[in-house]
Structure 1
Amino acid sequence: MEKAGWAYYSSGADDEITLRENHHAFHRVWFRPKILIDVTNVDFSTTMLGSKSSVPFYITATALGRLGHPDGETVLTQAAGKHGVIQMIPTLASCSFDEIIDAATDKQTQWMQLYVNSDRETTKQIVQHAEKRGIKGLWITVDAPQLGRREKDMRSKYDEEVADVQDEDGGEVDRSQGAARAISSFIDVSLSWKDIAWFKSITKMPIVLKGVQRYEDVLLAVEHGVEGVVLSNHGGRQLEFSRSSIEVLVETMAALRARGWQDRIEVYVDGGVKRATDILKCIALGAKGVGIGRPFLYAMSTYGVEGVSKAIQLLKDELEMNMRLLGVTDLTQLNPTFVDVRSLSAHNSIPADHLSLTVYEPMTVPKFKTASKL
């Protein structure tokens, strides 16, 4: 990958503590498997937002695909179609929205992630066009009224053609502080709960709020009649010291079950997912599905469609193996009794993950020149 692409994809906010915590949190959840179960036939297919999926994960929205591969997001589309995986199309894709739709087969399910434009007429046109093109869900990002300080990215200038930033006024683009800031000036900072009713008035697509970080807001989402939420801290790219999604998931499901609301909304999570064991922990705790972003970007950037397809197949193989080892043959059999979460909130108790630490790239240290003698 080019340096600018790696910096944009891999960067987190501030000191990247949240970025690492997203991954580390899964290491504090342990399994409680059953034994002597007939696990000859394992089925890990599921339904998300009413659409069938071959797996309990989806390719979540990630911007600027062409920073990693010349064919951009259509690479993800092709691999998703091959495996029956749902793809979420990003607002800030390098490819046009219609290019990504056209790359899909008739049988594929695609969702749309939306950064809300301060010009609501523009937003309305985007949403209604997506619905006409057959999009099956509107996922509204709610955790980014202002971009986090992603310093790896900010240290590189964004010299590529600007993605569809929805800026019809042709305003100036700030190319001096990385890709993220160059493409996001249009985002509406006034977005609030009162806007949910407006979205429901302009589309019949199911609405999901992406970026919820406390159970109280999940309860509000139920009261506002949205179909789903994504517990997410934006991959550790927004508010530093946000808790991991799986930690928020535990208290969210407890709050929903206490009110008998667990069937009134679908709960999804993303951030830090690298293995099928991570996915199964989320499903056991009550998540409907899991979003995966960076792993597929890296697979795409290195090996194109074959790389993403291989990554999906690896996760499928891991799902089958780990479901057998857990003693379940269907995702509906998973429940909180299969996991021990007593260490989850102990943020200082993390098993060392040498594999992750060897590939993690910290902020580069500047090279100092030796002072010449006077």
Structure 2
Amino acid sequence: MAKLTGVDIANHNTKESCWVIVHGKAYDVTEFLPEHPGGSKIILKYAGKDATEEFEPIHPPDTLDKYLDKKFHLGKVDMSTVNIEEKQVDPDEAARQERIKHMPALEQCYNLSDFEYVAKQVMKRTAWGYYSSGADDEITMRENRTAFHKIWFRPKILIDVQHVDMSTTMLGSKCDIPFYITATALGKLGHPDGETVLTKAAAKHGIIQMIPTLASCSFDEIVDAADGKQTQWFQLYVNKDRDITARIVKHAEQRGCKGLFITVDAPQLGRREKDMRSKFSDDGSDVQKAGEGDSIDRSQGAARAISSFIDPSLSWKDIPFFQKITKMPVVLKGVQRVDDVMKAVEHGMHAVVLSNHGGRQLDTAPTGIELLAEVMAELRSRNWQDKIEIYVDGGVRRASDVVKAVCLGAKGVGIGRPFLYAMSSYGEPGVCRAIQLLKDEFEMNMRLIGARTVAELTPDLVDTRGLQVHTVTTGSDVLNQTVYSPLTNPVFKARANL
């Protein structure tokens, strides 16, 4: 069969007939336009053109094979006949490349905030906007970090801590230390190999990786990158089509995932202004603009562009459905109330994750660590502490944060953004160093607090009275303040000389 030409594709550049090129193949996406999670405008911008560069970092490579009917797969394209459009020049790109050339040596990163600082300098503006953004005024995102500073240690002395064992189990799987790489979307925004970088680093260090629904790599790519022995969990955004959901869950179980984490705090994605602002160009020629007669659409950012399939009608009545379709432990991720944890116990959940989605959903929602103290008190009062495992995430930047959470009763702690920053800056070696730094800190903290095993990390080793007050400090955390990007106002266009 003869290859299609650039002219063949260019003739189909309207909403009535929309063809695009992805990875050298043509697709008729006309009927898919109304269903695209990011809206039709972003596709129409590439109607009759090569959309690979826009497609690559946001979609897993098997997306079109999975979700676009084969009758709309038009065949290979002779790419020598396709016009290469002049790309809009990012005014910061040359300077960014210079910063990359002069990056600090990996060995100069001594803590997780160092990776965040480097990533801020070397990542593309849009990628940094997506990874670093929080909801609204970002109060919860900052409080996630600050809350850990309100917990103080009460160390024991004269304990023989020559031998320290940091290993534990989470959902029945052994791991070297009680933290895991939690699910984060769009790994290829930070590194061309995406989430597989995290997979390989997790394998080398004996920690668990949670695979995200909205990964840039396909699910199978991530599982195939595993070493065959490591534990992987699967994070699920529930599709409105339950048949699709069931198929995804069963496939994850067949591929060996050991836990199903259902995200329950995102019936609608939060409003993340850094991400949104990075999508709006100063000259008004927004990437979402789509032809004659269309008004400018101020993009909702990368998050909204991939998430409209999520079912806002998900409720407690759906829990039996998940328990029926899988034998994996079922976990609710994003619980933010004590009474909802008690409901989870009553519904037979294996675990919950106390989480506010990294401060990216409802601003001024409670932090996971403050909620943990309340939850464990209630569980113990009912003698239910052994009926469910409690996990927590959000704001972790030091192993001491993990130690505090485990002391309060967490079975494990999820860490997300820091590993993305390490990956974006230094690839797999960066993630490995970040994990090792945390391991070294954890061992040191256990010795200094007087604990020889994870089981000896108990509530009497921490003082939580400071958690009663909500504050968003501006200067007490120097490391965090050097990498936090304040929200900004709209930028005025340059005025012509009068």
TM superposition shift of 1:157: 3.4
1:239-270 deviation digits (Å, cap 9, x = unpaired): 01011111100000011001000000000000
Alignment of 1:33-182 (within 5 A): 33-157=155-279, 176-182=299-305
Question: Does the 8 A contact of 2:209 with 2:233 survive in 1?
Answer: yes
Structure-1 separation of matches of 2:493 and 2:277: 20
| Counterpart in the other structure of 1:170 | none
Structure 1 counterpart of 2:79: none
Find out whether 1:277 has 2:394 as its counterpart.
no
Asked whether the equivalents of residues 88 and 110 of structure 1 are also in contact (C-alpha less than 8 Å), the reply is yes
On the 8 A contact 1:156/1:177 being kept in 2, the answer is no
Match of 1:358 in 2: 482
TM-align CA RMSD: 1.7
CA distance in 2, matches of 1:124, 1:76: 26
Aligned equivalents of 2:263, 2:256: Cα separation in 1: 20
The equivalences for 1:2-13 within 5 A come to 2-13=124-135
The equivalent position to 1:209 in structure 2, one of 328, 332, 335, is 332
- Could you say which residue in structure 2 is the equivalent of 1:171? none
Residues 205 and 373 of structure 1, relative CA distance in 2, 3 Å threshold? closer
**How far off its partner does 1:68 sit?**
0.2
Give the greater-gyration-radius structure (CA): 2
Give the alignment of 1:301-340 within 5 angstroms: 301-340=424-463
Structure 1 unaligned blocks of 5 or more: 159-173
- SS of the residue corresponding to residue 267 of structure 1 reads strand
Shift of 1:178: 0.9
Alignment check: 8 A CA contact 1:142 1:212 kept: yes
After superposition, the C-alpha distances for 1:137-190 in whole angstroms (9 at most, x for unaligned) are: 0000000000110011112339xxxxxxxxxxxxxxx99321000000100001
1:344 aligns with 2:453: no
Secondary structure class of the residue paired with 2:278: coil
**1:91–1:371 Cα change, 3 Å:** closer
Partner of 2:147: 25
- Match status 1:198 vs 2:321: yes
- In 2 relative to 1, CA 366–206 (structure 1 residues): closer, same or farther, beyond 3 Å? same
Equivalents in 2 of 1:366, 1:201: separation in Å?
50
Q: Distance in 2 between matches of 1:274 and 1:139?
A: 23
Q: 2:360: which partner in 1?
A: 237
Alpha carbons 2:184, 2:215 under 8 Å: kept: yes
Could you tell me which amino acid in structure 2 is paired with residue 203 of structure 1? T
Relative to 1, partners in 2 of residues 1:307 and 1:372: Cα closer, same or farther, differing over 3 Å?
closer
Higher relative contact order (CA 8 A, sep 6+): 1
* C-alpha spacing 1:78/1:372, structure 2 compared with 1 (3 Å): closer
User: Which residue of structure 2 aligns with residue 253 of structure 1?
Assistant: 376
Give the alignment's TM-score, normalised by structure 2.
Answer: 0.70
The amino acid that maps onto 2:149 is: H
Is the partner of 1:58 in helix, strand or coil? strand
Letter in 1 for 2:347: H
Q: CA deviation at 1:348?
A: 3.4
- Provide the rounded CA distance (Å) in 2 between the counterparts of 1:368 and 1:146: 31
- Between the aligned partners of 2:321 and 2:494, the Cα distance in structure 1 is 62
2:169 partner letter: T
TM-score normalised by structure 1 residue count: 0.93
Q: Which runs of 5+ in 2 are unaligned?
A: 1-122, 281-296
Question: SS of 1:139's equivalent?
Answer: strand
3-state secondary structure, aligned to 1:240: coil
Q: Residues 292-338 of structure 1: CA distance to partner in whole angstroms, max 9, x if unpaired?
A: 00000000001010000000000000001010000111010111100
Q: 1:176 to 1:43 in 2, by over 3 A?
A: same
